[in-house]
Chains A and B, each alone.
Chain A
Amino acid sequence: MPENSAGTMTPRRPAGTLYRGREGMWSWVLHRITGVAIFFFLLVHVLDTAMVRVAPEAYNAVISTYQNPIMGLGETALVAAIVFHAFNGIRIILIDLWSKGAKYQRVMFWIVIGLWVVAMLGFAPRHLINVFTHAMGGA
């Protein structure tokens, strides 16, 4: 009769399952994450650039602390975030304003990913070689 074996495979995530959205939802999640990350970068960037008004030496001191491989990797992540945010931003503008935008949103998402890969292939190797040759060789 009641064959339900309550409890055998049950206890996980009492809060409910993660909603299984598709490209549209994940592009929005990425857009939000990259957007917030870029905001915090800009906040710091405005502050460090403002140091030049305090004293050129202060500015140089701050900028020189950035000259290490960890910040170099951070710059790669920053460019990755900005490139995605920029291309996906164009996609969102097209969805809102182009009459066929909603219809082609999925194709446009994969175009965004493709453009992102191309841009990163152009940027990342060159940048990382720079970062690590300076770090190893000493500039």
Chain B
Amino acid sequence: MTLVADAPASGPAPEAPIEAFTVTLIIRRFDPDVDDEPRWQDFDVQMFATDRILDALHKIKWEQDGSLTFRRSCAHGICGSDAMRINGRNRLACKTLIKDLDITKPIYVEAIKGLPLEKDLIVDMDPFFESFRDVQPFLQAASVPPKGKERVQSVAERARFDDTTKCILCAACTSSCPVFWTDGQYFGPAAIVNAHRFIFDSRDDQAQTRLDILNDKEGVWRCRTTFNCTDACPRGIQVTQAIAEVKQAIMRGKP
């Protein structure tokens, strides 16, 4: 009742309290100490339309079952900790709003696929980061910048790889890839995106090394253009486009 203070008269029904919904989440649980196999468990939580799946997970963990295990750090779509499969699609729990989901049906939440399941929604990310390291995701310049200056880059040269600088390494793309599910040796979209970021950087001089690394049996040619990665990326990176550009660079023999 104190909420109506500054609402203009024309506003739609200002006295109505914000409506809360009962949302059912069905979470795929796995406790390696107790379970032989993962099992589904459902929880009912009271949520607002503007809440996120991460809020629902917090509510369950804090009020219903403290053993629910998941990763999250910043909770604002930057750290890339809370990628999980929500209603069958890889999403960040902290960027998925209740209002964007059909809450007349239960919401399925499970760990991302293709990486070893450790507990509940947590997977072992080591193979993912290993592929990331393998593409040398750091600047390697052979030249010395002008004394007291930085290496100059034109706006166009910077724009060339702008899209792939946005990656937060959440693994939503790599674990959405059907090729990665069945072939864990495949570098995966995230590693190729981070290679792309340096291959097309005009200041870098090791593009050829990275192209050679990715011109491997388990490199870019494993990509079957399913576009699951592009759809899953919470940063909107055109992942399949980036992979296609790396394929073309390998065929050209230069970036």
Contacts and interface: CB of A to CB of B under 8 A. Distances in A.
Interface residues of B, number: 38
Interface of A: 1-6, 8-12, 14, 16-25, 27-28, 92, 95-97, 101-103, 105-106
B41 interface: yes
Contacts of A106: 227
10 contacts: A2-B64, A4-B60, A14-B40, A16-B85, A17-B108, A23-B227, A24-B228, A25-B228, A28-B226, A96-B225
Interface stretch (B128-136, B188-196, B241-249): B241-249
Is the contact region of chain A dominated by helix, strand, or loop, or is it mixed?
A: loop
Given A24-B227, A95-B240, A102-B240, A4 B87 contact: no
Contact of B225 (A6, A8, A14, A92): A92
Interface of B: 24, 26, 28, 37-44, 60, 63-65, 85, 87-89, 106, 108, 110, 113, 176, 178, 224-228, 230-231, 238, 240-241, 244, 247-248
B176 A9 contact: no
B26 A14 contact: no
B58 to A, nearest CB: 15
Contacts of B85: 16-17, 19
Given A6-B42, A16-B38, A28-B178, A21 B226 contact: yes
A96 B40 contact: no
